[in-house]
Copies of this chain bind each other. A is one copy, B any other.
Amino acid sequence: MTEPTPEQIEKLAIAFERFTRRFKVAEAAAVMQNALNALDIQALLFIDDHPECNLGDVARHLQVALTTMSSSADRLVRRDMIERHRPEANRRSVALTITNKGSQAVAGYVDGYRASCKAMLQALDPVDQTEFLRLTQQISEYDD
């Protein structure tokens, strides 16, 4: 692994700052659409991916206090996005599952995210598209 030059890092920082703005805008739009805040959306995405997970799991993943997650769950339940229920196996915990309405919200968010990804790829010609994809994957798999 060779050290990237400061100039390269600088250029990447500028470019990255610019194209991640697109994603922030997309996320903000998703927030507006369902009147959910950023935390609640992230929680919903996690619950969608981890059915029957409990509050502690989500709080740990999102690095917020347990009570904060409890409030978030309250809001999501109130909006019919998720359901709480006590599993017989361990009745101290709550199992969180997504509802149809919650799934739709997730789908909406994911669509927005994909649209941003698509817009990025469309800036490139086909050869560069596959090249960019390869490099991006390599970076995402490289765990320091």
Contact = CB atoms under 8 A, between A and B. Distances in A.
- What's the interface size class on A, roughly? 35 or more
Given A15-B133, A16-B117, A117-B12, A4 B138 contact: no
Contacts of A120: 12, 139
A139 B117 contact: no
Interface string A106-144: 000010011001111111111011111101111111111
A104 interface: no
A8 interface: yes
A117 B124 CA distance: 21
User: So how many copies of this chain end up in the complex?
Assistant: 2
Given A13-B117, A119-B143, A8 B129 contact: yes
Interface stretch (A18-26, A51-59, A86-94): A18-26
A10 to B, nearest CB: 7
B12 A126 contact: no
12 contacts: A1-B122, A4-B129, A9-B114, A9-B117, A9-B121, A14-B140, A16-B117, A18-B144, A28-B63, A120-B139, A123-B141, A128-B135
